[in-house]
Structure 1
Amino acid sequence: MNSTSTPKESARPWMLSLSLTDKVTAAQLYMPHVKGGGVFVETDKAYELGDPVFVLLTIGDEGRKFPVNGRVVWVCGPNARGDKPQGIGVQFPKDDSGEGAKLAIEQMIGKMQASLKKTATL
């Protein structure tokens, strides 16, 4: 059986990194409204919805690292309204790393996000 893949499937995803070392930043960049959780990553690279992306996510003062192979679910371009930064929303995968990152962020920020008036995405 001969299998073929599109260039997008075979291309290596971009590699990004994000450090969430304080509660305020974590709450501003966390995307709880995304199924399974996600984070907003500032970047000037061009992405499309559904693109695979690798993010090395560092969470908390202790620097716990989560290698996340996610998907782009939000794109904020360079000409966004207001003062929204350019970047992408990355959905966490349904694996140990994605679930661990979601839990670590939620434990770090607690109920703080509900009180925020402004986040990086909405």
Structure 2
Amino acid sequence: MSTKEANRPWMLSLALEDKNTAARLYMPFVKGGGVFVECNKPYELGDPVFVLLSVGEEGKKYPINGKVVWVCGPNARGDKPQGIGIQFPRDDSGESARLAIEQMVGKMQASMKKTATL
């Protein structure tokens, strides 16, 4: 294991408990859906990452074996948080998570002016 890999957490977690948080962190423009996870560890595009994602007030859990498709470093322009965008896998867990988030957010995201990524 390289030093860089040893510095990464073995698992990230993200809770999308309410509509506003879900709309801010969901990435509908990523093929198959994705989420933004704030973190300060270095990742590169294409890196595999495991995220335990919980959605809704009930906190239904989705184990996501995704990959990094967006990196926002510590010196990002504006007030964007540091972190990574993770693409959902094309499996039951990824598809279920995408559907759960889209049902929770509904049309709200289209009217938002600011998200964590764009």
Is this a same-fold pair by TM over 0.5? yes
Amino acid at match of 1:93: P
Q: Which residue of 2 aligns with 1:33?
A: 29
Q: How does 1:1-122 map to 2 (within 5 A)?
A: 14-122=10-118
Flag as ranges the 4+ runs of structure 1 deviating above 4 A: none
- Report the aligned-residue RMSD: 1.8
Gaps of 5+ in 2: none
Aligned-pair CA distance for 1:94: 0.2
Q: Tell me the amino acid that sits aligned with residue 55 of structure 1.
A: V
Residues 91 and 13 (structure 1), Cα distance of their counterparts in 2 relative to 1, 3 Å cut: farther
Task: Give the C-alpha shift of residue 14 in structure 1.
Answer: 3.3
Return the alpha-carbon distance in structure 1 between the equivalents of residues 46 and 52 of structure 2: 18
The alignment-based identity, stated in percent, is 81
Q: Which structure is larger by alpha-carbon Rg, 1 or 2? A: 1
Task: Give me the whole-angstrom Cα distance separating, in 2, the residues matched to 1:65 and 1:49.
Answer: 25
Indicate the SS of the match to 1:24: helix
Q: Which amino acid aligns with 1:34?
A: V
Q: TM-score, normalised by structure 1?
A: 0.90
Count of aligned pairs: 115
SS in 2 for 1:62: coil
